[in-house]
Amino acid sequence: MDQAKPRVLVVDDDPLTRSLLSIALQSQAFEVIPAGDAGTALEHVRSEAPEIVILDLRLPGLDGMEALRKFKEIAPELPVVILTGYGDVPSAVEAMRLGAYDFLTKPVEPAKILVVVRRALKHQALGTELKELRRLGQRDALRWLMGRGQEIQQVIQQIKQVADSNFTILIQGETGTGKELVARSIHQLSARREKPFVALDCGAIPETLIESELFGYEKGAFTGADRRREGHFQLAQGGTLFLDEIVNLPFPTQAKLLRTLEERQVQVLGAKGPLPVDVRIIAAANVPMDGEIRTGRFRQDLYYRLNEFVIVVPPLRERVEDIVYLAERFLAEASMELQRPVRGISDEAVQVLLGYHWPGNVRELRNVIRRAVLLSSDLVEPAHLLPLPANSAEARPVEVSAFLPPGLPLREMARMAAAEAERRAIRQALRTARGNKSEAARILSTDFKTLHLKMRRYGIRPGELS
């Protein structure tokens, strides 16, 4: 199974730093390739093709800045995260201008490095897909990326209609349906395509940091602000800012975001006056926004400001005709990536794929197929589709009438049905993982925090399923 682990090259001459980073990454199922100098790191980049590099700027012999240049010559799309001390931040900023993905100051918090690594890997995967989009051309590329069914064709049509406008866009859809891919496609097809696309996961940033991440801050703005830092609005200047899981924004921050959108200027923390910004906003939510408004968790005026144009990405269970198409596409990608000549999917395995409810949507399908390629040596069979149930009766979608009271509005019935399907999927993943929540989160293609919150919501205890 190790072949499927994302490979992270950690380059630092300090053995303790390498060890701490390795422990943190390995605990989250990353494969770590350690290197104490740039020369060794360059050999690893050529021979082992890591998915991401964590690079210290100060190295013996060839320094980190020159190593970055050589990395980019060998693998231009390779994400490189720079490590630097507080006194060398200008060099880190220069490294980002040379193509580094991000930089972190030492000492590095394990939680922060994991967030940055996951974000970089996601960025790299989507970038690969969008290179294929540009190669194929606008008409055929979106169909290649998303599917051929009628439901997703409507989404593709909306992307093409709105891309060249300046509308603020709200993308709604369940987790794993491809909302960021929709956002990136809009950016790539717009007049802003040559400017930055900057993504911020509003659910991954602590409430105490979200405003500084969005708007930036001046040196001395608060305790610990020993340098100036640009926010995501400034980083996206002229381009597109994608606010993922926007319902997780704290209520006070929502008010400041609304003012920024209306005035087209940002108030940097600690600055004397506002800063003009030219940024297109695309937001995404994985829950119905009207429910968040009714419960008082989201501002109605901000919602109206965001939904100048709404795109709803349908869940995979409503796109049955795309399941086999996407599975075969993911099979071809994984066969090349893992260098395993799997020639196809058996009819019996296709029936399992078609009968499953797919609570994790396209993301879950992709992960299932990648695991199947690892397990299969010739043809994907039902036994390779872990953790999907091989029994078609178990794999059928949840019967709504089994748990919904009569007389409910259709929208409420759909919400409750989705919640019940999610609850059952979590319980099934926990059984497969023998109660291990970290492993269950990986099976469900979600993060530990989200799984923990949903377990509390549904009253699920891992001990009873181990």
**pLDDT single digits (tens) 25-69:** 988 888 999 999 999 999 999 888 898 999 998 888 888 889 998
Q: Note whether 366 and 301 are same-domain residues.
A: no
Query: Positive or negative CA dihedral for 338, 344, 346, 350?
Result: positive
| CB atoms inside a 10 Å sphere around CB 288 | 16
Alpha-carbon gap, residue 9 to 326, rounded angstroms: 31
At 401, is the pLDDT very low, low, confident or very high (cuts 50, 70, 90)? very low
For residue 131, being part of any structural domain is answered with no
440 and 342 fall within a common domain: yes
Is the residue at 128 inside a domain? no
Query: Based on the structure, what is the number of domains in the chain?
Result: 3
Q: How far is CA 114 from the centre of its chain?
A: 13
pLDDT band of 85, cuts 50, 70, 90: confident
CATH of the domain at 233: 3.40.50.300
> At 244, is the secondary structure helix, strand, or coil?
strand
Selection from 101, 151, 121 nearest residue 316 by Cα: 151
Angle, in degrees to the nearest 10, between helices 448-458 and 410-432 = 120
Distance CA(142)–CA(137), nearest Å, equals 9
One domain, residues 324 and 245: no
**277, 312, 347: which is the final residue of a domain?**
312
Q: How far apart are CA 43 and CA 53, in angstroms?
A: 13
In the predicted model, is pLDDT for residue 82 greater than 50?
Answer: yes
Looking at the structure, do residues 101 and 224 belong to the same domain, yes or no?
A: no
> Which pLDDT does position 429 carry in this prediction?
78
Task: Please report whether residue 119 resides in a domain.
Answer: no
Within a domain: residue 89?
Answer: yes
C-alpha closest to that of 210 among 180, 172, 243? 243
Range of the domain at 42: 2-109
Q: What is the pLDDT of residue 409?
A: 56
Model confidence band, residue 131 (pLDDT cutoffs 50, 70, 90): low
Closest CA to 280 of 380, 352, 347, 184: 184
Asked whether residue 265 falls in the same domain as residue 196, the answer is yes
Using the 3D structure, point to which of 248, 277, 312 is the last residue of a domain. Answer: 312
Kindly state whether residues 293 and 343 are assigned to the same domain: no
Res. 167: pLDDT tops 90: yes
Same-domain check for residues 84 and 60? yes
- The domain that contains 340 carries what CATH number? 1.10.8.60
Together in a domain, 183 and 221: yes
pLDDT above 50 for 139: no
Q: Say whether both 212 and 302 belong to one domain.
A: yes
The HSE-up count of residue 336 (CA atoms within 13 Å, CB side) is: 5
Query: In the chain, what are the helix, strand and coil shares in percent, each to the nearest 5?
Result: 55, 15, 35
pLDDT of residue 281: 96
| Tokens, residue 350 | 């296709």
Helix (H) or strand (E) holding 105: strand 102-105
pLDDT digits (tens, 9 = 90+) for 358-371: 989 999 999 999 99
Give phi and psi for 459, each to the nearest 5.
Answer: 70, 35
Determine contact, residues 100/82, Cβ cutoff 8 Å: yes
